[in-house]
Structure 1
């Protein structure tokens, strides 16, 4: 299982998979992190926060694990199981980065420092299902075999432990691994429980453009990437199953303890859309997983003509998704019962009419008794 989006950079974009990280200058680290969060503006996230901030929603992050000690994620993360069978986690940078984009809360006075996620009041359930791309244990065939089963097990674990949204910034489109029956069954299980599934579309769009899984399973929200000008990123995979695209270049996120990184990839794009799903789920909990998916697609900014394979339904927009969800929202049954018109009643007149009616009934009964005798 490959991670889709750990392409660290400093200030310049780097689209070479496996590129080495360039340390971010330590001075003003947290301050500059907040200042570089252009996706919040591009997706109208701050306007969406007037309606929802993701409260009450648990987003399962199926990834390399999440560092709950990062200052932007303090009190946000519940640790689930390690399903890789690889032993101690070691680096959990990728999972930490994705969690911060979904539910980062910043830190410091007024939480003005660090990274804010799209749904800063949501909770994260971390389920470790894969290793970092540079982890040497990937070469171990036994660990690799277990990891292939881990995503299916992770989906089921997340569903059974209360996750309403599952974010999967990973994929197995390279080499011989093209998904599995167990994984597809787990996807159907989650959708049957009305859990929203989001996955990254893949990062080889300018090359092999493989069909990537779990993004390629029916019902999963497959997410591609755009740059700051909302143009499709060259590396973003293009397929007819693409749902939407979201920011995926120059993305600042949490990294190691108290640090940050800038990266490119559809991993980040998928995490942003998982945050939008959490906003919708929080505001409209009665919507089904398919309705949440439809709201995200209907609320997206339109794509250029003839570019559906590159953009899906368009660029994901938090405010647009909430507005679309409002239109889909089921009106409670009690509210659909028409109210009777309010009539002003003359109570004295009513009492007179009731008395007259009683007298007529009594007279009719007396007449009946006389006839019978």
Structure 2
């Protein structure tokens, strides 16, 4: 199946916004002291319950440098759905994806792992799925046209290969942005398998606030970005699909080749939300995507008047509060498999037996009785003839 050319050309990292700074020394005072986002979302309190053990977060991005000291032994084998472009050792390889992975599951390094980037779910595993190339990759334009279906394929692949959360710090918020049936269907497939899906709300706050996909697909937990002061970041897209907000300005993260980056955008904000969901899934693995979404929105900090708005969604994520609230939840009941089809198109599925006086019930029972009578008559005739 083919993708619309305009859509293929527009899909980009939701943080073109990732800025590369001179390498930051890997010291606790240089890195940890600047990770203001962890304090803002009460990560330390959440870690009293879990650090994301047993959870796999699929990072659909530009690839992940599994050899970065803050991610060693944390990254599973990568699935590359692009198949060309920059590789390990190149400056245009896996910078963005490595940064997002570290925001989610960085565990630091050194004695006691006191140095380097610490992610919000430092015990979670990362499943890298390469679906896009870096902005400065010479093969970028080729990938946009030849691999336009990689995002949809990546969502399905992740859903079938152990992902507990799907994180997408990318999107299309251009003037030509529009929904793609393949992507929408892939997201619904993942949600149907019980996998929450997160995406960046978009970086179009200063450029018209165009709708961004995949953030605007039904069921996606779209994340906007806030600053140190808790204000909406000026670049963060304001739209109806905003679900929650998370830190998205001056975010320290790992880069490729053992380096570090400082970035801004709804990309790291989405990574924070994905990590928060990893914490919830670690402690409560059987909760549905809808229940997890409700936990995030009902326990968010700084909730706007009226319960939500287009700037912040329901407010700033608070995984510690969500974990506490989850203790009172029961897993969503499983639907009978034969009722999996939507009522609108295929009917309601299994129902209880109708009352005996229902007019349409006489036919099958009458037929069964007649059949039994014929069998009895045939048996008596056989006995008589013998």
Pairwise same-fold verdict (TM > 0.5) = yes
Write out per-residue CA displacement over residues 36-59 of structure 1, whole angstroms, 9 at most, x where no aligned residue: 100110000001000111100000
**1:345 counterpart residue number:** none
Q: Is contact 1:71–1:106 with CA below 8 Å preserved after alignment? A: yes
Find 2:135's aligned residue among 133, 136, 140: 133
**2:78 counterpart residue number:** 80
Higher Cα radius of gyration = 1
Give the SS at the match of 2:204: coil
Q: Is contact 2:288–2:332 with CA below 8 Å preserved after alignment? A: no
Q: Is contact 1:44–1:319 with CA below 8 Å preserved after alignment? A: yes
**1:124 counterpart residue number:** 126
How far apart are residue 7 of structure 1 and its match?
A: 2.9
| Counterparts in 2 of 1:181 and 1:281: CA distance versus 1, 3 Å | same
Map 1:125-204 to 2 at 5 A: 125-140=127-142, 143-204=143-204
Give the SS at the match of 1:279: helix
Give the SS at the match of 1:328: coil
Write out per-residue CA displacement over residues 263-290 of structure 1, whole angstroms, 9 at most, x where no aligned residue: 1100000000000000000000110111
Does 2:51 correspond to 1:53? yes
Q: Is contact 1:295–1:328 with CA below 8 Å preserved after alignment? A: no
Give the SS at the match of 2:242: coil
**1:67 counterpart residue number:** 65
How far apart are residue 31 of structure 1 and its match?
A: 4.0
Q: Is contact 1:33–1:252 with CA below 8 Å preserved after alignment? A: yes
Question: 2: distance between equivalents of 1:55 and 1:157?
Answer: 22
Q: Is contact 1:55–1:282 with CA below 8 Å preserved after alignment? A: yes
Question: 1: distance between equivalents of 2:65 and 2:167?
Answer: 16
Question: 2: distance between equivalents of 1:121 and 1:251?
Answer: 20
How far apart are residue 304 of structure 1 and its match?
A: 3.5
**1:23 counterpart residue number:** 22
Write out per-residue CA displacement over residues 137-189 of structure 1, whole angstroms, 9 at most, x where no aligned residue: 2233xx21233211100000001001010000000222534231100000010
**1:326 counterpart residue number:** 327
Q: Is contact 1:244–1:300 with CA below 8 Å preserved after alignment? A: yes
How far apart are residue 331 of structure 1 and its match?
A: 10
Question: 2: distance between equivalents of 1:106 and 1:31?
Answer: 13
Does 2:2 correspond to 1:2? no
Give the superposed CA RMSD: 1.8
Does 2:108 correspond to 1:106? yes
Aligned length: 318
**2:294 counterpart residue number:** 294
What TM-score results when the alignment is normalised by the length of structure 1? Answer: 0.82
Map 1:179-258 to 2 at 5 A: 179-258=179-258
Write out per-residue CA displacement over residues 233-268 of structure 1, whole angstroms, 9 at most, x where no aligned residue: 010001111100000001000012221111110000
Q: Which runs of 5+ in 1 are unaligned?
A: 10-20, 333-373
Question: 2: distance between equivalents of 1:42 and 1:68?
Answer: 27
Write out per-residue CA displacement over residues 345-368 of structure 1, whole angstroms, 9 at most, x where no aligned residue: xxxxxxxxxxxxxxxxxxxxxxxx
How far apart are residue 99 of structure 1 and its match?
A: 0.3
Write out per-residue CA displacement over residues 43-91 of structure 1, whole angstroms, 9 at most, x where no aligned residue: 0000100011110000000000000000000000012321123344341
Question: 2: distance between equivalents of 1:156 and 1:331?
Answer: 23
What TM-score results when the alignment is normalised by the length of structure 2? Answer: 0.79
Map 1:253-332 to 2 at 5 A: 253-305=253-305, 308-330=309-331
Question: 2: distance between equivalents of 1:77 and 1:25?
Answer: 22
How far apart are residue 298 of structure 1 and its match?
A: 1.1
Q: Is contact 2:198–2:215 with CA below 8 Å preserved after alignment? A: yes
Question: 1: distance between equivalents of 2:199 and 2:282?
Answer: 20
Q: Is contact 2:85–2:133 with CA below 8 Å preserved after alignment? A: no
Write out per-residue CA displacement over residues 162-217 of structure 1, whole angstroms, 9 at most, x where no aligned residue: 10100000002225342311000000100100101000000011221110011100
